[in-house]
């Protein structure tokens, strides 16, 4: 099954975060999952399950270990693996990490990222005719996490707006530089979609909740030049909108999360329609997933919402299971069972989580039918909805535990 933008409706995303933890340790999930050495095998594994498009990432801190000196030896084997296996890849240039010699708030950071992006475009274009690139992953989320909430490097507070402008400026200039190298490059801009409801019906709470909800669109608006045009945004900075959606993306302003059974929980299909209505760009779910036994039910839920959006006229190009491979927890190294495939054994083979693989195969057939004009997909039953509610609370507890550990580090 082919779509306009991607080679398959379901995509697989390889976790590629490289930021520094509060204790100073740098993450490298590409290496921790052995995806760097097993890229060709991993791509072939995805293809055996009908996945022919992947999200993957470069590691800037390895490429530019010394200022202005670029060594792509960590990336070239992955570029070659994608080319040789004919795997279509969306390459993340920046997934939270950057070289230690750069201050993310400085002008030198923008210049440094632009120069890195230019060099990356050369190498990627050597291996793909029409590359798909995500310049800076989750500008809005990272601006909150690293510039406002103080939970990601550089652990700043009250600098979220400054961070967002900085990352938009870097992204816009990098896109221009990359298109000088290869005008055929297509740009995917990825950020979460959220829903925020007021804790009371007071005018102040209603205003604050809606203002926070609308902030999800700020980075996209800036990139397109619709807000703060002095940053250089232009309409050609986005070819496709990638939306990330997890079970904790709906919450009460100043309160806790909203679980799927809550009547205040908003249909993801409506959120997709709203996002598409604002930007009129091809759209895809760039990240979605959950841990443990609820993985098949979550995928079924998300697919039902995506198919409903498609039936309403939204050109959803695909759903990316993220991560596609289990990985160590960012803060505690625990074995996160959130992918379709597990850690590699001594031979490089990865066990398959069969319930999720079977669900994806069934949904792939349903997606084909929907595109052919046949409606209908089985919705979740009450037991499955209850399981997702439970999973939401588990994820919230794990998030709070990890943040508590961070604050102690």
Convert the pLDDT of each residue in 67-79 to its tens digit.
999 999 999 999 9
Q: DSSP characters for 125-189?
A: HTT-SS-EEEEETTHHHHHHHHHTBS-STT--BS-HHHHHHHHHHHHHHHHHHHHHH-TT-EEEE
Give, rounded to a whole angstrom, the gap between the first and last alpha carbons of the chain: 48
Convert the pLDDT of each residue in 233-289 to its tens digit.
999 999 999 999 999 999 999 999 998 889 999 999 999 999 999 999 999 999 999
So what's the pLDDT on residue 394?
72
Convert the pLDDT of each residue in 302-361 to its tens digit.
998 999 999 899 999 999 999 999 999 998 899 999 999 999 999 999 999 999 999 999
Per-residue tokens: 380:
């979740």
HEC assignment per residue over 21-34: CCCCCECCHHHHCC
Tell if the pTM clears 0.85, that is, is over it: yes
Rounded Cα distance, 271 and 196, in Å: 12
pLDDT of 131 > 60? The answer is yes
Convert the pLDDT of each residue in 198-209 to its tens digit.
999 999 999 999
* 4 band by pLDDT with thresholds 50, 70 and 90: confident
Convert the pLDDT of each residue in 156-190 to its tens digit.
999 999 999 999 999 999 999 999 999 999 999 99
Query: What DSSP designation does 316 have?
Result: E
For the residues 126-154, what does the mean pLDDT come to? 97
**Domain segments of the chain as ranges:** 10-408
For the residues 117-135, what does the mean pLDDT come to? 97
CATH 2.30.110.10 fits 10-408, yes or no: no
pLDDT of 2 > 50? The answer is no
């Amino acid at each position: 099954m082919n779509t306009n933008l991607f080679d398959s409706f379901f995509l697989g995303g390889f976790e590629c975060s490289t930021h520094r933890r509060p204790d100073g340790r740098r993450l490298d999930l590409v290496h921790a999952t052995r995806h760097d050495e097993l890229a060709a095998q991993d791509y072939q594994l995805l293809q055996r399950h009908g996945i022919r498009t992947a999200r993957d990432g470069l590691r800037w801190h390895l490429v530019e270990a010394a200022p202005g000196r670029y060594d792509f030896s960590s990336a070239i084997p992955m570029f070659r693996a994608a080319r040789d296996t004919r795997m279509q890849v969306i390459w993340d240039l920046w997934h939270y990490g950057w070289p230690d010699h750069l201050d993310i708030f400085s002008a030198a950071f923008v210049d440094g990222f632009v120069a890195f992006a230019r060099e990356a475009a050369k190498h990627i274009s050597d291996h793909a005719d029409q590359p798909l690139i995500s310049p800076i992953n989750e500008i809005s989320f990272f601006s909150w996490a690293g510039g406002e909430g103080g939970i990601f490097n550089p652990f700043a507070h009250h600098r979220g707006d400054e961070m967002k402008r900085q990352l938009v400026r870097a992204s816009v200039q990098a896109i221009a530089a990359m298109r000088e190298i290869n005008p055929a490059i297509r740009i995917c801009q990825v950020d979460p979609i959220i829903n925020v409801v007021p804790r009371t019906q007071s005018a102040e709470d209603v205003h604050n909740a809606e203002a926070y909800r609308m902030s999800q669109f700020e980075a996209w608006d800036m990139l397109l030049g619709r807000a703060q045009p002095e940053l250089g945004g232009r309409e050609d900075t986005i070819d496709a909108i990638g939306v990330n959606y997890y079970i904790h993306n709906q919450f009460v302003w100043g309160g806790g999360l909203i679980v799927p059974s809550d009547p205040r929980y908003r249909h993801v299909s409506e959120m997709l329609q709203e996002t598409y209505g604002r930007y009129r760009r091809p759209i895809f779910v760039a990240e979605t997933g959950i841990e443990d036994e609820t993985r098949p039910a979550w995928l079924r839920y998300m697919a039902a919402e995506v198919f409903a959006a498609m039936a309403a006229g939204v050109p959803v190009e695909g759903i990316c299971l993220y991560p596609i491979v289990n990985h160590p927890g960012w803060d505690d190294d625990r074995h996160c069972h959130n992918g379709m495939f597990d850690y590699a054994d001594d031979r490089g083979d990865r066990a398959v989580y069969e319930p999720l693989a079977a669900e994806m195969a069934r949904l792939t057939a349903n997606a084909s039918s929907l595109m052919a004009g046949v409606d209908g997909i089985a919705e979740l039953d009450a037991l499955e909805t209850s399981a997702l509610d439970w999973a939401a609370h588990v994820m919230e507890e794990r998030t709070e535990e990890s943040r508590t550990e961070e604050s102690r580090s």
